[in-house]
Structure formats: structure tokens, C-alpha cells
Structure 1
């Protein structure tokens, strides 16, 4: 009773994915996993729209997770896939959810982005200049990219105090979730980093537990 589960869905067969999301919701699954691409299909492919519809209706959080990028051949050496490519690929996936209009059409869809938002928080100046000033990539959105990004939850899996301080200032404590990437990174690293930051105790409570309890509907 101390564990919650995230469901894997057969995204490559969207009708079956809808049926599965209904089944696992009845089994009290906390959320569902969405990989950064589905067999090479981008996450904003029109075939996945019914799955997002049902997830929104059932208040089922969608947790983004990296998989080997379709462009993995370019970064196959020097451990660059695990070092950086996975985080970049999930960043592309989240940007597609935004620019493809998924979050526009599903304003109540709850999405979790791993690795402290990937590269998006650091690229927002360029992204916003492209969309707001140059008018690029706005075919499916009516608001700024930053507006949709603020709807998304980030975990704190970035073992760098400077990075976490930036994400805390950029995103605020209300949508940050404690995470560790265990066993690849020791949980103690993130506990110590957060404790070393100038964060009010009440807000630390949100990050360490309350936000996840509310998001996933956890019961103790």
C-alpha cells in the first residue's frame, strides 16, 4: 500500500491505449507513461488525440519518459545518449505537445516532465522570441509557450544546485516534484541539494510530497 504505479499503454494502437487507460484507472493507477516518441511517431500525432481525450476526462496524469531518440545514431558514442540526448528528446516531445496544440485542446491534461524540465527552461528566451516576435510555430496555439509550460509539472532530477535554483525561480514551487532517478542517482543527492537551497519550509513540503500527493491522488 506504500507504492503507486504508472501504467504503460499500447500507444502504437491508440484504441487499445484508451481501453487500457480506462482499465488501469479502475485499478487505481496513479498515471500513465508517454515515451518521447512512439515507434518513431511524434507525441502530437493526430492518432493519439483519443488517448489524451480520455486521460484528461479521467484526470490521469501523463508522465513523459525518454526513449532512444530517432536521431540516436548521431549521439551513439561517448555515452551521449544517457548523458544528454534523452533529456533533449523529452524536451522536443514536450515542445511538440505545446506547439502541436495538445495542451491548448486539453487544458486540464496533467503532464509531468522529467529532469527538471530538460533543456526547455534554458531555451525559453529563444523559443519565445521565435513564437512571439517572429510568429513562428503558432499554428496551433493561442497563448505563449511559457503559458502552457507553466501547466506542466517538473521533477527535480538535475544533480546541480545552480540548475535547481534556476528551475525553482523559473517554474515556482507549486509544480515541482521530488524525484531521484534512482538507482542511477542517489536520492540523498537531491535531498541535500534541496535542503541547501533558500526555500521556505512550507514550499519544501510541497516539493517533497504535497504536490505529488495532490497530482497523483495518493492516499496514506
Structure 2
């Protein structure tokens, strides 16, 4: 069995809604596919692979992926006003639940209006208790607000209580205005933003407070594994870094799972693998932006034991999703 814990989807309801919108966010038809606009100068194309499950299943069959965890692609719902954000989140989660109930090859992470924590908590509870969704997908910042903001604490408390994994997904980076050229938003902006998000969760004391929180950081841990010595050094020399945590940042980071999305350069992947071991790595493809076949083959070709490959491709995900 192979589980892909990080796959993108634009539900048909979400697609229909954003085709009617003007301004940002919105979706437009383009060259036989679609283009989604999610910020000033920020857009990405997508095709039927993003919303047609039959196409997706064929690629899963070809790559050997048995189970895929779906999550709504960016921009999510936090760019909308309160009533619309709540409505779209509910509609999306209902559709994701319907997909998982009809097709045993899919599970899903809920989308919630993080900008409105009171609504987010209610939607987390509804999505899990009534709809059977298996986790939560949140952006790396919420319209510019960092994830260690105390207003988000009730969301983390709820996720911890329900033993839900939280996938922290890149969104519009906080410094996107200097990344518009050369595709730098996706090349480095997304990774910088998820790195910043997790470091703030660590230094801000969120992982100290919620010790049972289960976080998944995409892209082999962003750039944290590469910088971990520098991060711990800052903790050792800067008294401000010790105000809310009692251990070096690396100790908290070792509690976090990382996925393998777009991590095909072995030396870079090795940073995460050596720091966290196979116990904290899960297969994630970021499909349809990345080839499922390539994602699976990269893990199969690693010079590690079959037992470790099994952890990465299935066992760790089973634990996170409570399939065992």
C-alpha cells in the first residue's frame, strides 16, 4: 500500500463559485484549462487533473498510489468576507466528505476560515465529527497574520483534542512583492513562508503549549533542516528566544512530520531524513503540480532499508490518519 498525504484539489463547487467572481481571488478559463488568481500578480494554471477524480485515479494506478489525501488548493477561503468564507468552507468540506464516502481511495483534510477562529473551531469539529474528514489544512500565514497569533490557539487546542494532523501549506508569501519576477514566489517564497510559519510556532511557544499537536510541513521541511544548526545557535545566544520555550528549537522540530513533495534532490532531502529519520517523513506529492510516478520512484530508489521505505510510504501516514 502507498499513501500520498499531500494532494491538491479544487472542488467542483469551489470552481463554479470562483468562475463567477471578479477581482481576487477568481478563476478564468484559459487555453482549454483554467487560471486561478490569488493575489496581485499571483496566479497559476490548472487543468482537469485538479478536479476530475477519474483522471486522478488513472495516474494513481500508474504510479501505484492506493490512497490519496485531498486538500483544497490555494487560495482557500481566508480572502473572503466572514459569511462567504464560512459558506465556502462548509460547501467545500461537504463535497470532500462526499468524495471520501463514495470512493475509498480518497481521504481529505478540512478547510476552515482561519481568519475567523470562532467559526474555524466549529467547522473543525463539524468536519471531523459529522463529515469524517481526517485532518486540517491551514495556510502558512492568514492574510499576513502569523500562525503563532494567540487568536489561533483555540484551533490548535481543538486539533490537539481531536488528534488531528495539520498540514501547513504555503500561501501568498509575506514578502511576495519582491518575488514577482522569475517565478520566485513558488521557487523560494513558498518555502520561506512555511519556514517562517513553523519557526514562529516553535519560538512563539505554540508547540510548548500544545505538546500533542501533529504538524506536517511540506517540501522536506522547507529550509529548516538545512538551517537547523543556525536556528539552535540563535536560541543559545538570544535571550528573547528562550522566553516561551524551554528547549532548543531542534527538539520541537523533531516532533514535526515532513513530506516529500518536490524533494527530488538527494542531498537536500538527506538533510531532512538525517535530522528526523524515516519515522517523521511521509510521502506527499503535491499532485497535480508534481508527477505521482516521480514522487513514488524517488522514495523507492533511496538507499535505505525496505522497512524505512515502508514507514515513509505508508506506516507513518497510517498513524497520522488513525488508520491503525
TM-score by length of 2: 0.66
Cα shift at 1:136: 4.2
CA distance in 2, matches of 1:9, 1:109: 17
Match of 1:98 among 174, 190, 202: 202
User: Cα deviation per residue 1:145-199 (whole Å; 9 max; x = unaligned)?
Assistant: 0110011000012121222223211110011000111122112222222222211
Match of 1:205 among 310, 315, 318: 310
Residue 45 of structure 1 corresponds to: 149
**Closer/same/farther in 2, CA of residues 134 and 45 from structure 1, 3 Å limit:** closer
Match of 2:255 among 142, 148, 151: 151
- Asked if 1:82 is matched to 2:186, the reply is yes
Preserved CA contact (<8 Å) 1:9 1:17: yes
CA distance in 1, matches of 2:271, 2:140: 24
Residue 10 of structure 2 corresponds to: none
Preserved CA contact (<8 Å) 2:136 2:167: yes
Relative to its length, the structure with more strand (as a share) is 2
Match of 2:268 among 163, 168, 182: 163
- Asked if 1:176 is matched to 2:281, the reply is yes
Q: How does 1:49-68 map to 2 (within 5 A)?
A: 49-68=153-172
Preserved CA contact (<8 Å) 1:98 1:141: yes
Give unpaired runs (5+ residues) of structure 1: none
Cα shift at 1:134: 3.9
Preserved CA contact (<8 Å) 1:66 1:90: yes
* SS of 1:112 mapped into structure 2: strand
CA distance in 1, matches of 2:133, 2:194: 23
Give unpaired runs (5+ residues) of structure 2: 1-103
- Asked if 1:119 is matched to 2:223, the reply is yes
Question: What RMSD over aligned residues (CA atoms) do the two structures have, in Å?
Answer: 1.2
Residue 17 of structure 1 corresponds to: 120
CA distance in 1, matches of 2:298, 2:193: 25
Preserved CA contact (<8 Å) 2:203 2:245: yes
